[in-house]
Structure 1
Amino acid sequence: MLEITFQTEKEASYLHQLLNTEKENFDFQAALLNGTVLTCETDDWETFISDVLVPSFVDFFLNVKEPRLLLFIIEKQFYFEDEDEKQQILHIAQSILEGERAEIPMIKHFEPRENLIISALTNFLRPNQSFSIESFIQFRLSDYLSRLSEYVGLSIEEYKMEQEYQNFIQSLREYVLNKKPKLSTIHILHDTSFQVFNEKFIEIKELELKKWIDREFIYRHPMYIDSHLLAPLVSIAPLEIYIYSDQQEEAMIQTIQNIFQERVRFFSRASFQKR
């Protein structure tokens, strides 16, 4: 008989329910004792461990234990105490783990973390064992925990960059709000590049745009500001910006919207000719 002790009844119940979904396909018995102890019995341990127990444990670690382990690392290894900061870093870490931030170069070289869990379980699980989940994590999942620490480190770097970006946007937003507009309306046509037009739909060429730039503000600013479009726009501080694009999620467009907020209006690229 295999006996596994969990930290909470909720954790034990989660794995118990996962195992029960496999009873139609495999011959085994799984029962809960005292709410936190899960026992397993079967006549075919090799198949049960490889095809039922290991996949169920992987699900359990990724969906139940991992968020708590990430938070623990954020708090104890990187010394973050503020609840809001911890949750933001956790959210970034989870988005990285789910493959939503594939642009981070280092991630491409990481072995899937599931493999680290599978390897530890395969080398450890045997019939007639008795162990606790916490001891297994502490003594058998060191490679997995190290990988989570790497992910948290990357998440903190991303968090700091996002904070810098938000401060950058806020400073530009305040500058625009406190500045007298040099032009009331700007039209921006976007395809593979950006074309800028005044309120009469006369194109403002790049050299002319650069003449509008408030050099003193740009030089004093701690982050790089695109001199082709963003710096002139901020310096002009128009009351209305009409953007004609079929790619509203494009990074520069999102930045413009974040700075100018309600001053921005969106239209399809095709509607530019009609207007």
Structure 2
Amino acid sequence: MTLMTIILNECWKDIYNRLDHEMDFFLKDGIIIDKNIEKIGRETYISYSVEETCLKYYTIDEFEHIFKYYIANIFSEIIIHDMEEKMAYDILSNEYDYFGLQERKAILKHFNNIQKDEMYKYEKGSSCTISRRTKIVQQMMDYFIENDVIHLEGFLRFRLRSYIEELENSIDRAVEDFLMEKEYNEFIRLLRYFVDIQEAKIDTVNVLMTEDGNYQLYDDKNKMIKNEYLEDLALEMADKDISYDDLLISSLITLAPKKIIIHFSTNSSKKEIIDTIQNVFSDRVYICTESNLCGSIHNLKQE
């Protein structure tokens, strides 16, 4: 009995080899899957069949469903792990053709991170969405209810439209992430320039960060830093509705210290601002951290 016919384009020989290897799965139950291969133009037709006498534990209908589900899982694996990035790159090239080759590679890295993050959320149970693989299997099984012939490229293009739309959305997000990263890097480059041309007004600044997001600046003698530069800066930025983190960065650039020591709680959620300070001031920055509030902070606060 014929189980299914799969049509592959000439460039998909690797998929044929993968299918051929996966058919060995049924041998453990003594089930031999026969195949007939026919080449028509640039397409390869692979017809799979089985003798009913081999099916000791299943009816023909049961085994046909099992076989199709097995094929659907193989295809979902191939699509996600072997074809998804190529499809994403094609979408990127068509929708965002103004990006250069290196920019597209960078965007693809963001795309892969987004896809991995979605899969991680699904596996950890923190996402209510169905995994991409499950969606592909479901749509393929729905198709197999009334069809015994599948053209893989055609199925991808016309039957998995929702999956393609998800890829397009992920590419859009990856482009946004890339542009934000590019803007951030340009911002950091500009801040580094300001730091490099500034003359240091102080040797050491201790930055005390607390769990509530506040901070205070101390010198190397554990005295709080208060001067006209910072007071004027705070007033100016307050009028412009600038964030507390921006005020900290601007204060440090104004002071342009030779050394910055950051003291923070292990429960602090200020990783982004700490990363920014490190990116701007690079080897001038030192991190001081212990359990809860470090002893250095405690000593500073007592001054």
Question: If the length of structure 1 is used for normalisation, what is the TM-score?
Answer: 0.79
- CA distance in structure 2 between the partners assigned to 1:158 and 1:137 by the alignment: 27
Name which of 2, 5, 18 aligns with 1:3. Answer: 5
Using a 3 Å threshold, how does the CA distance of structure 1 residues 257 and 116 change in structure 2: closer, same or farther?
same
Name which of 7, 12, 16 aligns with 1:12. Answer: 16
- CA distance in structure 1 between the partners assigned to 2:19 and 2:295 by the alignment: 56
Partner of 2:185: 166
Gaps in structure 1 of 5+ consecutive residues: 103-107
2:167 equivalent to 1:148: yes
2:33 equivalent to 1:29: yes
Task: Give the 4+ runs in structure 1 shifted more than 6 A.
Answer: none
Name which of 176, 188, 196 aligns with 1:157. Answer: 176
Gaps in structure 2 of 5+ consecutive residues: 51-59, 122-126
2:218 equivalent to 1:197: yes
- CA distance in structure 2 between the partners assigned to 1:84 and 1:13 by the alignment: 33
- 1:214 Cα deviation after fit: 9.5
Partner of 1:211: 231
Name which of 69, 92, 96 aligns with 1:74. Answer: 92
Do the aligned residues in 1 keep the contact of 2:261 with 2:287 (CA within 8 Å)? yes
- 1:149 Cα deviation after fit: 0.7
Name which of 93, 98, 102 aligns with 2:111. Answer: 93
* Aligned-residue identity in percent: 21
2:285 equivalent to 1:264: yes
Using a 3 Å threshold, how does the CA distance of structure 1 residues 16 and 196 change in structure 2: closer, same or farther?
farther
Amino acid at match of 1:196: L
Partner of 2:57: none
Q: Equivalent residue of 2:190, what SS?
A: helix
Partner of 2:54: none
Map Cα deviations across residues 239-265 of structure 1 (whole Å, 9 max, x no partner). 111123346981110110011111112
* Larger Rg belongs to: 2
Q: Which moved more, 1:246-255 or 1:19-28?
A: 19-28
Partner of 1:185: 204
Partner of 1:123: 142
Q: Which moved more, 1:227-236 or 1:176-185?
A: 227-236
CA RMSD of aligned residues (A): 3.7
> Which has more helix, going by share of residues?
2
Partner of 1:41: 49
Amino acid at match of 2:231: K
Using a 3 Å threshold, how does the CA distance of structure 1 residues 227 and 69 change in structure 2: closer, same or farther?
closer
- 1:230 Cα deviation after fit: 1.3
Q: Equivalent residue of 1:226, what SS?
A: helix
- 1:165 Cα deviation after fit: 0.9
- CA distance in structure 2 between the partners assigned to 1:249 and 1:18 by the alignment: 49
Do the aligned residues in 1 keep the contact of 2:202 with 2:258 (CA within 8 Å)? yes
- CA distance in structure 1 between the partners assigned to 2:166 and 2:157 by the alignment: 14
Amino acid at match of 2:248: L
Using a 3 Å threshold, how does the CA distance of structure 1 residues 195 and 242 change in structure 2: closer, same or farther?
same
Number of residue pairs matched by the alignment: 266
